[in-house]
Amino acid sequence: MKTAIIHHPDCALHDTGGYHPERPERTKAVVDALRENFNDDQLNWVLADKAALSWVEQVHDGAYVRQIEEACLRGDDVLDRGDTQVCMESFDVARLSAGGAMLAVDQVMQGKAKNAFSVMRPPGHHAERAQAMGFCLFNNVAVAARYAQQQYDLKRVAIIDIDVHHGNGTQAAFYDDPSVYFVSFHQYPFYPGTGMAREKGAGEGLGYTLNIPLVAGAEYPEYLLAWETEVLPALTDFKPEMILISAGFDAHIDDPLANMKLNDRDFYELTELIKDFAMQSCGGRLVSVLEGGYNLEALARASVRHVQSLCDVK
């Protein structure tokens, strides 16, 4: 079986205003690099579809969803006091981005692909229940997790966030929920300010959030050590039935927004760790959802390495 790549040219319609790091060229750079480096025996190319609002509203307040729609239709250009730009088309593209993550779940759960990577924007992991932030409108990976649970009756889903920023929105969505285990590797202290090791969940969800704050300048051995000593034991106990990756590539050494030192190859190795665990725990059911990554060349190269692991190219 192949790896599914979920994409849509309309991702480029989400216009963030010219000088914004989260720009339309990002998804095109990844798609072009994947087309160049893989053949049709390796990848299934699948066009994304807009998420039904009922699924988006599993994670976000209905009033918030309507507020985003109205802001876009009104022609507002900024949400979240400044860093989350929108245009008239952004509401529809955000639905498409969430729908891409859901379609990636379908590809894997229906046995159409061995795993899947949704190459869509805007990203999602900073978006909270009623708050756009950090370039994110809807929390795509959180919507996909709820969709996997409800559409396919999965009891336990794990989300592993490798974006250099803490996935505050995803953490908040499942903080008191023991059915979704959230792991985040991130630079700390750093934007958005959350993600301390002592944030471990609350109520019934206590012990189902695992934060791996890493100091600026961290390299792959620090990720590997945390994986082996903390993440792998915790996920082994949890026994997920599907694993979602919040795949940000902004921990790359060439990324302009952060200070970590992962190289292209490290993204292959990191994906291998997760994929090997998915093979052991849940038959390889693995869905990756694009988050950040702001140096176009580094984003494209690291994404190629990520997909080399997903489709078993050495």
Catalytic residues: 126
Q: Which stretch binds Zn ion (CB under 5 A): 14-22, 143-151, 284-292, 298-306?
A: 284-292
Does the protein bind Zn ion through residue 250 (CB under 5 A)?
yes
Q: Which stretch binds Zn ion (CB under 5 A): 59-67, 113-121, 136-144, 246-254?
A: 246-254
Does the protein bind Zn ion through residue 169 (CB under 5 A)?
no
Q: Which stretch binds Zn ion (CB under 5 A): 5-13, 153-161, 230-238, 288-296?
A: 288-296
Does the protein bind Zn ion through residue 275 (CB under 5 A)?
no
CB of 248 to Zn ion, least distance (A): 4
Does the protein bind Zn ion through residue 122 (CB under 5 A)?
no
The full 3-state SS of the chain, as one line of letters, equals CCEEEEECHHHHHCCCCCCCCCCCHHHHHHHHHHHHHCCCCCEEEEECCCCCHHHHCCCCCHHHHHHHHHHHHHCCCEEHHHCEECCCCHHHHHHHHHHHHHHHHHHHHCCCCCEEEECCCCCCCCCECCECECCECCCHHHHHHHHHHHHHCCCCEEEEECCCCCCHHHHHHHCCCCCEEEEEEEECCCCCCCCCCCCCCCHHHCCCEEEEEECCCCCHHHHHHHHHHHHHHHHHHHCCCEEEEEECCCCECCCCCCCCCECHHHHHHHHHHHHHHHHHHHCCCEEEEECCCCCHHHHHHHHHHHHHHHCCCC
Among the listed residues 100, 205, 213, 248, the single contact to Zn ion using CB under 5 A: 248
- Which lies closer to Zn ion via its Cβ, residue 167 or residue 240? 167
The residues with which 290 forms a beta bridge, in sequence order, are: 247
Q: Which residue carries 């579809």 as its tokens?
A: 49
Residue nearest Zn ion by beta-carbon distance:
292
Number of residues in contact with Zn ion, rule: CB under 5 A? 5
CB of 121 to Zn ion, least distance (A): 12
CB of 61 to Zn ion, least distance (A): 24
Does the protein bind Zn ion through residue 126 (CB under 5 A)?
no
Peptide bond into 221 cis (omega under 30): no
CB of 291 to Zn ion, least distance (A): 6
CB of 302 to Zn ion, least distance (A): 13
- Which lies closer to Zn ion via its Cβ, residue 115 or residue 246? 246
- Which lies closer to Zn ion via its Cβ, residue 247 or residue 307? 247
Among the listed residues 165, 166, 275, 301, the single contact to Zn ion using CB under 5 A: 165
Does the protein bind Zn ion through residue 163 (CB under 5 A)?
yes
Point out which residues bind Zn ion (CB under 5 A): 163, 165, 248, 250, 292
